[in-house]
Structure 1
Amino acid sequence: MARLSSLATATADILPFPAQAERRAAAPLRLLTFSTLYPNAAQPNHGIFVENRLRHLVASGAATSTVIAPVPWFPSRDARFGDWARCAAAPAEEMRYGLRVLHPRYAAPPRLGMYTGPWALLRAGRSALAQLLAEGERFDAIDAHYLYPDGVAATWLAREAGLPVVITARGSDTSHLPHFAGPRRLIRTALRDADALIAVSAGLAKGLIALGAAPGKVTVLRNGVDLDGFTPPMDRDALRMKLGLSGPVILSVGHLIERKGHHHVIGALAELPGATLLVAGEGPERRALAALAERLGVAGRVHLLGARPHDELAKLYGAADALVLASTREGWANVMLESMACGTPVVAGPAWGSREAISAPEAGLVLDEVGPGPIAQALRQILADPPARRATRAHAERFGWGETTRGQAELFAGLLAMRRGAA
């Protein structure tokens, strides 16, 4: 890890002498955001929750940020290769909402990538950071997202650069990846080496502590929702007519992978005559889901919409009668708040964060277990006696970004103050 020893010298001015610190007390924090979970021009919805949180922090004036968002290397942009082709099409660098974003490539070979990822990401991050420092950029701290492999690599990069690092854990990085021996060992080391940890739900915070994180290091900062971008439709009947919808409409949003549980929702539709299911998302399970709908005799009522631009989702939420989140592994699923902000209640599985977001009857229902039967039963209950849409919206208004933005600013500022005091 000594190959970037020069980075520590290049970043030495981030720890000023007391007089300098006093003069710069009001200066924005200079963050280096590091994560593979970040959108790019070819994958505009990928990790958008990381970008949204960062945008609100920067807009507050409390921080500036440059983003290193590594992308897996792939040799072809041919659409036949799906997500891999989109990785190849990602630009090497771009500006998004006024933020400079670098996309260095890293090796992510199938099956081996889980185990080689931290070292590949370190190499990509090291090169990108060296470029930024050579251009004169300076940073106060690293803002990393996802424990593995991103957070592990970020702790190594932070050590080389002489910077503090804060890692945000987001869900399966805490609930699933630690089941593998190699990742678990490195995750626990990262929990020890990180200067601070952010959990996006109280349940996730408990999961971090169970993995060995010091309780005093963990801060709960829930994701918020854009209350201006996600609002109830002005004329819901007209919107439904424009979209060609009638009768009960169920919505399921997320990547088409097994753990998102779309198959459970299709199974539930077989028990809900007359209802229509909209599935917004793309992924490797698309054919299997279409085949399941055919097998159950509901293909005519299941519409696989593919990936939809984030700003189009508000129309789908507003037109639906209920959103179903059938995943059992989430830290804090943003789709819950987005749906409620549009006035649409949610049926969710017992994943981390579900009971924190759906904490009142007008928000929806949380299942004890996920499956077609329980989902269908919950949907029948909501469709028979739906909450007032204005009440569902009012519940979502408790989850704006303000508190999370303040919490981030205070966490980073306190961390830097402690380091300066110890210097």
Structure 2
Amino acid sequence: MRVLHVITGLAAGGAETQLRHLLRHSAADAEVIALTNPGAVADALRADGVPVSCVDMRGNRDLTALPRLVGRIRAGRFDVVHTHLYRAMLFGRLAARLAGVRHVVATEHSLAATTIEGRPRDRAGVRALYLAAERLGRLTVAVSERVAGAMVEWGVPAERIRVVPNGIDLDAFAFDGAARAEARARLGLAPEAFVVGAVGRLVPTKRFDVLVRALPAMPGAVLLIAGEGPLRTTLAELAARLGVRERVLLAGEVDDMRGMLSAVDVLGSPSTEETFGLAILEALAAGLPTAYACCPALDGLPAGAAPRARRADPTPEAFAAALTALRGDPAREVPPAARHYDIARAAAAIDALHSELVTGARAAA
């Protein structure tokens, strides 16, 4: 089966990395087109043997990219077009229909209670365009029950939603002692330092300022944030005002996430707008204890599924206390929660969904 995935960009990010891991376990003959910014994940996909191209879209209103996208879809003779992220959902669904593809599906990664892809979702026209584009597809995959609920609340009919949780590639994030030593040496971190890790775009919804503000109550701790975004300067200035600038390391986009997670001792996630909690599950796959404010992936699982994942109020005081309490746990055991979200299971579910669309026969869950 020929499947084309259309995504807004391929810089390092949760949805982008998830797509890469899914395709590593998919049985489909897949290709990927990015509308813009074919970054680190594009290189990783090509290294995996997945064809990747870009239509060089210059902005949200660059309609000249649409005929280029239509032409590439038509030339590829794809059975299914699968879109990811808001801009790709708008342009990818429309282009697929114009190219004559009957089976169009999307994955909603980022619709939360008040935001979509980290921006306020009540901006003028955003909802209307979303709902208009949704009708161009057959259905939309939600990465969690929380996302499915947000979609229904926004106006998407429940019967047009299918929940397929994100998956974790356990091998890709497994703890590696040699990688820990190499990453610490490269980042200038002392072997004995207590390092708090954080992963995500530097945007307001991630609330990384909570972790910076927690540092004064954690003498000697170092905060390592992997991610890039518009708040980089703001976070650095906050750290300087609090007198902890030398203990905050803004690492930017990190290609070697396994090395980064091996290098840190605990992960902090103060975001309250998570749609799945992928960074938290990746940390658990690396055997890391974790303090978090919101993680839909853990909601509903048995209490013992993630014994070293601790929920905390999204305040500096609560996170300082939670991270300090987790400091003395050197074990690197992978909890059942991480194994529950096995990437092979997620990829098989997506493959079955594509087959269902083409053949009309719904596979057994």
Letter in 2 for 1:188: L
Relative to its length, the structure with more helix (as a share) is: 1
Partner residue of 1:289? 235
1:33 aligns with 2:5: yes
1:69 aligned residue (34, 55, 59): 34
1:418 aligns with 2:357: no
Aligned-pair CA distance for 1:97? 2.1
How does 1:295-310 map onto structure 2 within 5 Å? 295-309=241-255
1:50 aligned residue (11, 19, 23): 19
What is the DSSP-based 3-state SS (H/G/I as helix, E as strand, rest coil) of the residue aligned with 1:362? coil
How does 1:328-347 map onto structure 2 within 5 Å? 328-347=272-291
Partner residue of 1:79? none
Query: Which of the two has higher C-alpha Rg?
Result: 1
Q: Is the 8 A contact 2:82 2:105 kept in 1?
A: yes
Q: What is the distance in 2 between the residues matched to 1:358 and 1:167?
A: 30
Partner residue of 1:229? 172
Cα deviation per residue 1:176-235 (whole Å; 9 max; x = unaligned)? 243123011111223333201111111111111111222222222222122112112347
1:278 aligns with 2:216: no
Cα deviation per residue 1:382-413 (whole Å; 9 max; x = unaligned)? 235x38421x4454222221211111111111
How does 1:244-393 map onto structure 2 within 5 Å? 244-309=190-255, 311=256, 313-350=257-294, 352-353=296-297, 355=299, 360-367=305-312, 369-383=313-327, 386=329, 388-390=331-333, 392-393=334-335
Partner residue of 1:150? 88
Cα deviation per residue 1:247-284 (whole Å; 9 max; x = unaligned)? 43211122222222221101111111222211222233
Aligned-pair CA distance for 1:56? 2.1
TM-score by length of 1: 0.74
Q: Is the 8 A contact 1:318 1:339 kept in 2?
A: no
Q: What is the distance in 2 between the residues matched to 1:169 and 1:283?
A: 21
Q: What is the distance in 2 between the residues matched to 1:280 and 1:213?
A: 34
What is the DSSP-based 3-state SS (H/G/I as helix, E as strand, rest coil) of the residue aligned with 1:255? coil
**Distance change in 2, residues 1:253/1:66 (3 Å):** same
1:165 aligned residue (99, 104, 129): 104
Partner residue of 2:78? 139
What is the DSSP-based 3-state SS (H/G/I as helix, E as strand, rest coil) of the residue aligned with 2:217? coil
Cα deviation per residue 1:28-80 (whole Å; 9 max; x = unaligned)? x21121111324xxx799822222223321xxx2x1122221116xxxxxxxx
Q: Is the 8 A contact 1:364 1:382 kept in 2?
A: no
What is the DSSP-based 3-state SS (H/G/I as helix, E as strand, rest coil) of the residue aligned with 2:25? helix
Q: What is the distance in 2 between the residues matched to 1:371 and 1:45?
A: 24
Partner residue of 2:349? 407
How does 1:117-132 map onto structure 2 within 5 Å? 120=62, 123-131=64-72
Moved more, 161-170 or 279-288: 279-288
How does 1:179-198 map onto structure 2 within 5 Å? 179-198=122-141
Q: What is the distance in 2 between the residues matched to 1:396 and 1:332?
A: 13
Q: What is the distance in 2 between the residues matched to 1:90 and 1:229?
A: 14
Partner residue of 1:16? none
What is the DSSP-based 3-state SS (H/G/I as helix, E as strand, rest coil) of the residue aligned with 1:355? coil
Q: What is the distance in 2 between the residues matched to 1:132 and 1:238?
A: 45
Q: What is the distance in 2 between the residues matched to 1:126 and 1:363?
A: 50
Aligned-pair CA distance for 1:361? 4.5
Q: What is the distance in 1 between the residues matched to 2:71 and 2:9?
A: 21
Aligned-pair CA distance for 1:239? 6.5
Aligned-pair CA distance for 1:170? 0.6
Q: Is the 8 A contact 2:7 2:83 kept in 1?
A: yes
Q: Is the 8 A contact 2:146 2:296 kept in 1?
A: yes
Identity across the alignment (%) = 29
- Consecutive unaligned residues in structure 2, runs of 5 or more: none
**Distance change in 2, residues 1:244/1:376 (3 Å):** same
- Consecutive unaligned residues in structure 1, runs of 5 or more: 1-28, 73-85
Q: Number of aligned residue pairs: give it.
A: 350
TM-score by length of 2: 0.84
Aligned-pair CA distance for 1:123? 4.2
Partner residue of 2:162? 219
What is the DSSP-based 3-state SS (H/G/I as helix, E as strand, rest coil) of the residue aligned with 1:304? strand
Q: RMSD of aligned C-alpha atoms?
A: 3.1
